């Protein structure tokens, strides 16, 4: 039984090993090595964040982050394979074979108000207690500690209760937390999508109040966040939540507004994201080029209808349109160029499926295969295995009809 912890209480709820499901067998061996060494040297050593959350939910964690009361310099001295990371050398990355990295940080406390006005970027941190460290985190289910000294779970923020009840809840006043760092809005939606948990009322309401603050975030950071959600296997639900909470315009500028206003285009986007999710969940790997082209396709399709200026290359116009949208998120230039190239080829492919007139020299273009893959996804609602997926759909549609046309012609001639 778990008691609900008062958020202001000094002492945490501690769940001893017999009362929870986290076994050392499911913890990464490198992470265990780091935890044990810190513990043997007399430091507190806790597994924290996504790893504890995912293990309690029976999922395989992506990474295993560790917090300790050892200072970065002390951590580094304990591990020959440790590297100080970050502007102020606040973290230590411990590197293992096969490019595996365990991130170790020292317990932190919230910086004094006004110490850092640089919203959406890393803040200046000072070291703190485990309790302060927990309260600095974003949502309750992400602030649980697994203590290697006795295998217990330490909970200062009622995260265990929220995990068992399926609730996404901001730690502290969500208004203040979103003002401090608006990316937390994104993270609330991300974790709601991944866990299928309900967003607690205040946490949800404050999103509407503060969503516009996403325009203050670093575009590069938002792009980084987006790449994680595109491969999460729940990008469809995540995007649906973004739409529901009205955050798309603050991230994608005019393109976000377009998706808000055109329900058909938004549905097309969600359907395609669903296709990507199924592919990812079945272990397929898709390039960022393809995923980004999918994201912008419904907008490109509509925009191309209106783009017709004599004598000007449509792809140039499309690129200009894409750049005009005042997106907060920074899509790197080469991705933007590829999104446009793919969109142009895809448009011709879909037309060719209607007319049977295909310019096959397009096959030599760099983004032909990306466009062919998306074309297949649009038609068959799954990611293709074929080498030239467009040729397959084209032949399916036209090979039969052409021979039919030819037979009809012969009959017609004979009747004359």
Write the CB contacts of 173 (distance below 8 Å, at least 6 apart in sequence). Answer: 202, 206
Q: What's the closest the beta carbon of residue 11 comes to ligand ATP, in angstroms? A: 20
What is the rounded distance in angstroms from the CA atom of residue 136 to the CA atom of residue 171? 8
28, 138, 181, 370: which is the annotated catalytic residue? 138
Q: Closest CB to ligand ATP among 141 and 352? A: 141
Q: What's the closest the beta carbon of residue 260 comes to ligand ATP, in angstroms? A: 25
Helix count (H) and strand count (E) of the chain?
17, 12
Helical axes 333-355 vs 288-306, angle rounded to 10°: 60
Q: Considering only residues 64-83, where is the footprint of ligand ATP by CB under 6 A?
A: 65
Give CA separation, 138 vs 176, 184, 317, in Å.
11, 7, 42
* Residue among 366, 351, 361, 338 at smallest CA distance from 398: 351
Q: How many residues bind ligand ATP (CB under 6 A)?
A: 14
Q: Considering only residues 114-153, where is the footprint of ligand ATP by CB under 6 A?
A: 137-138, 142-143
Q: Which of 183, 222, 276, 280 is close enough to bind ligand ATP by CB under 6 A? A: 183
What is the rounded distance in angstroms from the CA atom of residue 193 to the CA atom of residue 242? 10
* Residue among 48, 21, 20 at smallest CA distance from 34: 48
**Ramachandran angles phi, psi of 85, nearest 5°:** -130, 150
128 binds, among ligand ATP, Mg ion, none (CB under 5 to 8 A by kind): none
DSSP state of 85: E
Q: Which of 2, 37, 63, 362 is close enough to bind ligand ATP by CB under 6 A? A: 63
Instruction: Give the three-class secondary structure for 188.
Output: helix
Burial class of residue 283 (count of CB atoms within 10 Å of its CB; 0-12, 13-18, 19+): exposed
Q: What's the closest the beta carbon of residue 50 comes to ligand ATP, in angstroms? A: 2
| Residue 41, H or E segment | none
**Ramachandran angles phi, psi of 198, nearest 5°:** -85, 140
Q: Is 155 a catalytic residue?
A: no
Q: What's the closest the beta carbon of residue 30 comes to Mg ion, in angstroms? A: 15
65, 147, 162, 277: which is the annotated catalytic residue? 65
Quick count: other Cβ atoms within 10 Å of Cβ 187?
16
Q: What's the closest the beta carbon of residue 187 comes to ligand ATP, in angstroms? A: 6
Q: Which of 57, 63, 100, 358 is close enough to bind Mg ion by CB under 5 A? A: 63
**Binding of Mg ion by 225 (CB under 5 A):** no
Q: Is 224 a catalytic residue?
A: no
Q: Is 308 a catalytic residue?
A: no
Q: Which of 30, 46, 50, 250 is close enough to bind Mg ion by CB under 5 A? A: 50
Annotate each residue in 37-56 with x if it binds ligand ATP (CB under 6 A) or - if it does not, as one string: ------------xx------
Binding residues for ligand ATP, per CB under 6 A?
Answer: 49-50, 62-63, 65, 137-138, 142-143, 181, 183-184, 187, 228
Q: Which residues bind Mg ion (CB under 5 A)?
A: 50, 63
Catalytic residues, by residue number, are 63, 65, 138
């Amino acid at each position: 039984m778990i008691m609900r912890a008062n958020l202001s209480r000094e002492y945490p709820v501690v769940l001893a090993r017999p009362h929870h499901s986290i076994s050392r067998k499911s913890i990464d061996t490198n992470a265990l090595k780091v935890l044990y060494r810190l513990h043997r040297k007399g430091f507190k050593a806790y597994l924290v964040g996504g790893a504890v959350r995912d293990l309690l939910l029976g999922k395989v964690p992506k990474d295993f982050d560790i917090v300790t009361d050892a200072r970065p310099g002390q951590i580094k001295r304990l591990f020959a394979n440790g590297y100080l990371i970050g502007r102020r050398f606040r973290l230590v990355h411990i590197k293992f074979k096969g490019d595996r990295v365990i991130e170790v940080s020292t317990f932190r406390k919230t910086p004094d108000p006004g110490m850092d006005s640089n919203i959406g970027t890393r803040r200046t941190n000072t070291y703190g207690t485990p309790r302060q460290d927990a309260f600095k985190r974003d949502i309750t289910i992400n602030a649980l500690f697994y203590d290697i000294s006795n295998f217990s779970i330490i909970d200062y923020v009622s995260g265990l209760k929220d995990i068992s009840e399926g609730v996404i809840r901001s730690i502290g006043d969500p208004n203040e937390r979103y003002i401090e760092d608006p990316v937390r809005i994104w993270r609330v939606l991300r974790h709601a999508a991944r866990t299928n948990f309900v967003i607690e009322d205040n946490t949800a309401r404050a999103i509407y109040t503060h969503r516009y603050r996403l325009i203050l975030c670093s575009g590069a950071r938002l792009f980084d966040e987006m790449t994680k959600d595109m491969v999460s296997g729940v990008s469809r639900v995540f995007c649906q939540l973004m739409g529901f909470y009205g955050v798309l315009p603050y991230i994608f500028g005019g393109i976000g507004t377009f998706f808000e206003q055109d329900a058909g285009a938004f549905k097309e986007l969600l359907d395609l994201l669903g296709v990507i999710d199924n592919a990812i969940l079945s272990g397929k790997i898709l390039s960022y080029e393809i995923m980004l082209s999918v994201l912008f396709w419904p907008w490109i399709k509509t925009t191309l209808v209106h783009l017709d200026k004599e004598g000007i290359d449509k792809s140039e116009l499309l690129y200009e349109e894409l750049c005009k949208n005042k997106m907060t998120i920074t899509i790197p230039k080469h991705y933007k160029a590829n999104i446009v190239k793919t969109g142009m080829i895809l448009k011709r492919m879909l037309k060719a499926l209607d007319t049977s007139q295909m310019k096959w020299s397009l096959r030599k273009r760099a983004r032909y295969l990306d466009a062919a893959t998306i074309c297949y996804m649009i038609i068959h609602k799954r990611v293709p295995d074929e080498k030239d997926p467009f040729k397959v759909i084209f032949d399916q549609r036209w090979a039969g009809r052409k021979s039919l046309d030819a037979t009809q012609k012969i009959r017609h001639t004979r009747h004359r």
